[in-house]
Amino acid sequence: MQILDRSTGLSDSLASSLAAAIRAGEFAPGARLPTEKQLVERYAVSRAVVREAIARLKTDGFVETRQGAGAFVTAKPGSANFRIVAPGSMETGLSEADLAHVFELRAVIEAGMAELAAQRRSEEDLILIRTTLGRMDQALATAADGGAADDAFHAAIAKAAGNPYLAQFSAYLSQHFSATRAVAWMPAAVTAGNTRASQREHRKLFAAIEARNPEAAARAAREHIRQSEARYSVTRKAG
């Protein structure tokens, strides 16, 4: 019997264990996975857990199921898999390494978008970005939650970059990045002045895009992410 890590949920843990075995070559492309009964016995879990794990592996592109025959490893295992460990709430216990990876990804993506936006933005794009800044100013003035406006600000920059695929990818990533932005709008962050600091960084980024200065825009975006990571870590530890 193999022991699973039960801290992340049995089905997720089983799926991760099987995915690791597939990557390691224990199950080659085209090979059939152990039967449901065999997996239940090997990992001491229920049939429901096995089915959920197989469903996740199928979604992530590791296996394909054949009616009455079982689950088989795909030709290119994991090719459909792209997952980010979402930061979620302040109580999730996300590791510092995972946090660093999320912010590093933000820096790469958002600096690139800012650079392109400075090169390609239209007057309509500027109006939209400026509008989201105004919404954040209003949230600050009324002690309201400006998280949605913060997300909209970055989405407007993605649109201004003029690449529809980049905008779509950014929209997908935003559901994971949003939690790292939301921290700036927590009451403690507002009281400490972190929210106003973040807004100053937003305005610096906007000014570079407005001035059509790609280098300054990319630099401002990276600095914003660096400061955001520091603020997030401090608030997370305080929580």
Give 132's pLDDT tier (boundaries 50, 70, 90): very high
Give the CATH number of the domain where residue 199 resides: 1.20.120.530
Indicate if 113 and 200 belong to the same structural domain: yes
- The confidence score (pLDDT) of residue 179 equals 72
Rounded distance, CA 192 to CA 186, Å?
10
Give me 18's structure tokens.
Answer: 């099987």
Angle at 76 between CA 28 and CA 73, to 5 degrees: 45
Q: Does residue 135 lie within any of the structural domains? A: yes
Tell me: do 101 and 69 sit in the same domain.
no
Taking residues 207-221, report their average pLDDT: 98
Give percent of the chain above pLDDT 90. 52
What are the pLDDT digits (tens) for 76-85? Answer: 887 666 666 5
Shared-domain flag, residues 135 and 230: yes
CATH number of residue 26's parent domain: 1.10.10.10
Identify whether 85 is part of a domain: no
Identify the domain containing residue 19 by its residue range. Answer: 6-73
pLDDT bracket for residue 1 (50, 70, 90): low
Mean model confidence pLDDT for the chain: 86
36 and 114 assigned to the same domain:
no
Note the pLDDT tens digit of each residue in 85-125: 554 443 344 567 777 888 898 899 999 999 999 999 999 99
Residue 31 belongs to some domain of the structure: yes
What would the pLDDT profile of 52-87 be if each residue is shown by its tens digit?
A: 999 989 988 899 999 888 999 998 887 666 666 554
The predicted pLDDT at position 91 comes to 39
42 lies in the same domain as 118: no
- Verify that 42 and 125 share a domain, yes or no: no
DSSP assignment of the chain: -PPPPGGG-HHHHHHHHHHHHHHTTSS-TTPBPPPHHHHHHHHT--HHHHHHHHHHHHHTTSEEEETTTEEEE-SSTTTT--------STTS---HHHHHHHHHHHHHHHHHHHHHHHHH--HHHHHHHHHHHHHHHHHHHHT---HHHHHHHHHHHHHHTT-HHHHHHHHHHHHHHHHHHHGGGSHHHHHHTHHHHHHHHHHHHHHHHHTT-HHHHHHHHHHHHHHHHHHHHHHHHH-
